[in-house]
Amino acid sequence: MVDLKVNLAGIEIDNPIIPASGTFGYGYEFAELYDINMLGTFSFKGTTKDPRFGNPTPRIAECKEGMINAVGLQNPGVDKVISEELPKLKECFNKKVMANVSGFSVEDYAYTCGKLDKCDEIGWFEVNVSCPNVHGGGMSFGTSPEAAAEVTRAVKAVTTKPVFIKLSPNVTDIVSIAKACEEAGADGISLINTLLGMRINLNNRKPIIANKMGGFSGPAIFPVAVRMVYQVAHAVKIPVIGMGGVSSAEDVIELMLAGATAVEVGAANLTDPYVCKTIIEDLPKVMKKYGINSLSEIIGGVKD
């Protein structure tokens, strides 16, 4: 009998499979399709202090081996997430959920995380520092070690639960940013977020997405994810959640060998809503194929 359990920052989960934020809503939508309690956990839709309508449409562009999106953090705001979304989730999910939080200032992050910290349903925070810093000229918090560390310290000051900082791959030195977050008190690192991409309509010669550019995700970015997870996991002592183009049990094992403790599945949920269920069901036979008895034993097990 193979063992799928892993320990994620002090909380044991049944398996390492986590649907990624923005691809799984607040969970109850997928609960109509299958029992989502089979998941390790999931990261709910990126939540901000205030409600956000999101970016103008069109927001999606198809690509070979992936997609580009610029949804713009559409969400009802933290108060409605607490009063409306979490009670609905509680009816169909009996495990701890991961709260994905975004913000446009350090104060935004601290306010939203402080409110959510009081919710029993939440087990971890996943803090997305890929948002533009409105007080810093619009540059993403995640492009600077100092800015990422500042957000980390502010969130840790108002929370009692493990905090994972979700990093952007659109940087030249991902390791220095991850180490700055670790030194500032982060309990873990999530990576990678989407790459920056763009498509052009050949008929009207205009960008397909109204926002011009958006986040590129899907199978094409998987090798980048493996590389960055490997780099960061070997540079920090805190757990890493790996993601980026994952669509199979083999992908999960590859990211775990690179150093991931758990693995998020993103864009694949949008093309196959059962993909996480399939991956969990496939893991035991794939583990047996490669002589793996316990997933926790292969974390960071790539041979140099």
Q: Sign of the CA dihedral 166, 9, 120, 243?
A: positive
Instruction: Indicate if the alpha-carbon torsion angle 37, 43, 49, 52 is positive or negative.
Output: negative
- 3-state SS class at 242: strand
Q: What burial class does residue 63 get, using C-beta atoms within 10 Å of its C-beta: 0-12 exposed, 13-18 middle, 19+ buried?
A: middle
HEC-encoded secondary structure of 183-238? HCCCCEEEECCCEEECCECCCCCCECCCCCCEEEECHHHHHHHHHHHHHHHCCCCC
- Residue 131: active-site member: yes
> Which residue of the set 113, 131, 181, 276 is catalytic?
131
8 Å CB contact between 197 and 169: no
181's tokens: 């977050």
C-beta of residue 192 within 8 angstroms of C-beta of residue 224? yes
Compute the distance between CA of residue 140 and CA of residue 134 in angstroms, rounded to an integer: 9
φ and ψ at residue 104, rounded to 5 degrees = -120, 5
Residue 151: partners with Cβ closer than 8 Å, 6 or more residues away:
103, 106, 109, 127, 129, 141, 165
Residues with catalytic function: 131
